[in-house]
Amino acid sequence: MISFSEFLDIPKIDAHNHLNLGMRYSSYAPWAGFYIPNFPRKMSGLDEMHEIIGEYTRPRVQSAKDVSTLLSLSIEDAIEDGIKILEASVDMGLAQFFRNTTAFFNMLESLKSEYINDIKFRPEIGMGKTFDKAKLKRLVPDCIQSGVFGSIDLYGPEVLDGIEDFQAYFELAYKKGLKKKAHIGEFSNAQTVKDFVNFFELDEVQHGINAAYDDSALLLLKKKNVRLNITPTSNVMLSAVMSLESHPIKRIVQEGVRVSIATDDLLFFNRSVSEQCADMVNAGLFTKEEVLDILNQSYEESL
C-alpha cells in the first residue's frame, strides 16, 4: 500500500474545486459552530448533496466576512495538500453579501495577495444553470471584464436545455482570455459531453467521465485537446461510479485524453488530491509513476 504522503511534496493543480465547499470538514465545523449529522457519507446523487447544502452550509453564510473566511479555509487546506495552482470556482451567489462588485473583487484580490507566497489562487466564475438569469446578466459580464478571474465554469443539471442562455458569457470570456469550463458527463452520457464541448468550445470539462464509453467522444476530446478535470472520490461518493476500482479514468488516460485529478467539494468527499492519487494506485488503476505523470503534466501545462 502506498501512502498519500508520497504525493504531498509534488507540485499540483486543483482545477475543479468549488471554493465554498472546498475545505476539510474538520476545518469547517469549528468555524460553522455545528456538526452535520452522519457526514461525510456516500450519497445517492446530487439531490441528496443539495439537500445538505440547503439545510446546513448555505444558511451559515450571512456576511461578506463569512465569505472571505470560508474561501480562506479552502485555500489553506489546498496549501496543506501541496497544491500550487488553485483554479477554484467562486459561486456567483456569494456576491450578494458585498455592497457592490468592487468590494467583491477586492476581497478576491486580497486573498490572492495574502497567499501569493504559497499558492497561485486563480478565481473562477461559478455559474449555476438554475441561478437567477437577471442577476447573472448584471454580474457576470463585470466579472469577466474585471481581470480578477482566470476562468468561467457552468454547472447544474447536465442537460442541453437552456445552455444558449450562457453562450454570450462564454463568448465574452473567450475574448478576454478566460479559460472555458463546464460540468458535464458525470451523470449524463457521452453525447452531452460532445455537445457541450462543441457548443461552448470548451477548454476543459469538469468530470466528463462518461466520455470513456464512446470512442467518438474520446476522439473529439483528444482532437480538440480538451482536458477533463476528474474527481474520482466525488464520482464514487455520489454513486456516479460504483467503485474506485471500476472508475473509467484509466481508459480515458490510455486513450490519450488529458486529465487532472481534483477535489470537487473537499467538505463532502474528504479526499485531497494527494490522497486520491494514493487511492488510485492502491486500487490498481495506475502505478505511482503513471500518477506522477498525470500530476506533472496537468501542473506544467497550467503554469
Q: Which residue has the cell 486580497?
A: 110
**Which class for 80: exposed (0-12), middle (13-18), buried (19 or more C-beta within 10 A)?**
middle
d(C-alpha 105, C-alpha 146), whole Å: 8
CA-based angle 41:59:150, to the nearest 5?
80
Q: Which residue has the cell 478566460?
A: 178
Which grid coordinates belong to 18? 468549488
Is residue 237 a contact partner of residue 268, using CB atoms and an 8 Å limit?
yes
Distance of CA 28 to the CA centre of its chain: 18
Nearest CA-CA partner of 260 in 206, 186, 196, 184: 206
Is residue 114 a contact partner of residue 149, using CB atoms and an 8 Å limit?
no
DSSP string covering 167-202:
HHHHHHHHHTT-EEEEEESSSS-HHHHHHHHHHHT-
Phi/psi of residue 10, each to 5°?
Answer: -80, 125
Distance of CA 100 to the CA centre of its chain: 26
Q: Which of 87, 124, 186, 275 is catalytic?
A: 186
Is residue 291 a contact partner of residue 280, using CB atoms and an 8 Å limit?
yes
Q: What amino acid is encoded at 110 in this protein? A: S
Q: CA 69, 89, 175, 224: dihedral to nearest 10 degrees?
A: 150
Which grid coordinates belong to 112? 490572492
Residue 300 designated active-site: no
Residues with a catalytic annotation lie at: 186
